[in-house]
Structure 1
Amino acid sequence: MANDRLRTAMLAAGLTVDTLAQELGRDPKTVERWIRQEQRLPHRATRVELARLLKVREVDLWPELGGSPRPAPVESELVHLYSSRSAITGAIWTELLAGVSRSMDVLVFSGAFLVEQYDLIPLIRKKAANGVAFRIMVGDETSDTVKQRAIDEGTPGGLEGRIQLMRRYLSDVSGIEGVEIRTHSTVLYNSLYRFDDDLLVNGHAHGALAGQSPVLHLHRTPNGQMWDHYMKSFELTWKNANPEP
């Protein structure tokens, strides 16, 4: 069983397997074994240094060291943390898109890259014919929130044009059964891309393009909280969005 506590602490500290191994003077393969095998304990001195680097206690990483019963294992929702949306390879996007069998939800301002790089429109036609449901929200380019976002990221007028382009792309599938397109004018804190039980959460930072900002890849689990947290925001935005003609 993997040590999700160690993996999560590393992500929170911004340390990768390689950087942590370098800090500890250990082989990266050894660090990987600590993550993959929860029962594998580093030596005492290494554990102390490891906890110091991660700014946690040893028992936070290995509860059995405190003499308390080990908590029931919890399946982690976090599949991967990407340093930016641009760091997600084309193969991963293609795999997620091709694998959709029930529903796909998208919340963006533009999202035109899905059409231009990954041929989204033919995919929607094909999968909608097989019963897949699509809900796609793009920005209202006339809204103050979109205009301010364009100014903040240094592309005044550019974002509005990309949204108009995306709405034109989507107009070709807006009348298909099972496909719903809406526009919204909310402040876009995160772009969301849902593929059945997989969810990409692209956070936004002031002054940065969406492609430059980190992405959480979450997988839905029975007891997970992050998935529900972000999908609630999708549902709220969807409720207040305007259907396209």
Structure 2
Amino acid sequence: MNERLRTAITEHGLTFEALADACSVDPKTVSRWVAGRIPHRRHRWAVANCLAVDEMYIWPEQRTVSSTSELAASQPSGIIETYTNRASVPRDLWLSLLRDATHQIDVLVFSGTFFAQTNPHIARMLRERAEAGVRIRLCFGDPDGAAVVTRGHEEGIGDTLAAKIRASLTYYRNLVHVAGCEIRLHDTTLYNSLFRYDEHLLVNPHIWGQPASANPILRLRNTASSEWFAPYTASFDAVWATARPWTPNHRHPYKEH
């Protein structure tokens, strides 16, 4: 229980619902914060500003974490945050990066099942971004390709990976003809899954034999001093150039032409 947060809310004369509205989150999210969950950085700032208190007073354990992140941001790598695994990345971060993108969204995965299953509105949100002028490129593994067969064998799941890709693609079939949105299939050995939102990049390194979800995430920002951002985005472009366009078969949505 975060007693400091609960007390600050009470002393400020607010309800959980009022604080949730001020921070643009669900009231249940505020309840989780009070129960002890630590919000993403931008929500910590919003809460502290709304309650007129020091962020470090409410979440003193974040003082070391914040200092580490600030130090990392100044390093040539461009890393601003790291996560133990994909599940450790706050859902709010995925959503905010997508919503805030103004010119480019790139996704490179094998199946990317989680990308849609954790956000049932993903297709609508991507369409809205495309209609706002954002260039969207989604690149999935070719379920009939050799790379997917190899990866499925390495993970010990056989043909399951190909089936996951076909299932994942069904979420995006209505985006194929949206201007500014392209979907392709690659037959490439992936060393990383990549998620780019303008000048922010989430890199999910692949550890042999483990699913991408069990591997760490590096969050990079493209700055004048960053050295990692450009090579990773160049690798996306290289894979994209060799990938083939995907066109769904609406009579048989789990199959591609």
Calculate the TM-score normalised by the size of structure 1. Answer: 0.69
- Structure 2 matches for 1:36-185, cutoff 5 A? 77-118=78-119, 119-185=121-187
CA contact (8 A) 1:128 1:179 kept: yes
CA spacing shift, 1:178–1:33, aligned 2, 3 Å? closer
CA spacing shift, 1:171–1:33, aligned 2, 3 Å? closer
TM-superposed CA distance for 1:244, in Å, is 1.7
Q: SS where residue 199 of structure 1 aligns?
A: strand
Give the Cα separation in 2 of the matches to 1:208 and 1:137: 21
Give the Cα separation in 2 of the matches to 1:233 and 1:87: 25
* Cα root mean square deviation, aligned: 2.4
2:252 aligns to what? none
Code of the residue aligned with 2:205 in structure 1: it is: G
CA spacing shift, 1:81–1:175, aligned 2, 3 Å? same
CA spacing shift, 1:226–1:155, aligned 2, 3 Å? same
Code of the residue aligned with 1:151 in structure 2: it is: H
Give the Cα separation in 2 of the matches to 1:117 and 1:103: 21
Code of the residue aligned with 1:243 in structure 2: it is: P
User: 2:210 aligned with 1:242, yes or no?
Assistant: no
Give the Cα separation in 1 of the matches to 2:129 and 2:66: 40
CA contact (8 A) 1:75 1:221 kept: no
1:224 aligns to what? 226
Code of the residue aligned with 2:141 in structure 1: it is: G
CA spacing shift, 1:205–1:99, aligned 2, 3 Å? same
CA spacing shift, 1:161–1:223, aligned 2, 3 Å? same
How many residue pairs are counted as aligned between the two chains? 185
CA spacing shift, 1:79–1:157, aligned 2, 3 Å? same
Segments of 5+ residues of structure 2 without an aligned counterpart are 1-60, 248-257
CA spacing shift, 1:209–1:29, aligned 2, 3 Å? closer
Identity over aligned residues, as a percent?
Answer: 32
TM-superposed CA distance for 1:199, in Å, is 0.1
Give the Cα separation in 1 of the matches to 2:199 and 2:172: 24
TM-superposed CA distance for 1:77, in Å, is 1.3
Give the Cα separation in 2 of the matches to 1:129 and 1:191: 25
TM-superposed CA distance for 1:92, in Å, is 1.5
1:213 aligns to what? 215
Calculate the TM-score normalised by the size of structure 2. Answer: 0.66
CA contact (8 A) 1:143 1:185 kept: yes
TM-superposed CA distance for 1:75, in Å, is 6.8
2:202 aligns to what? 200
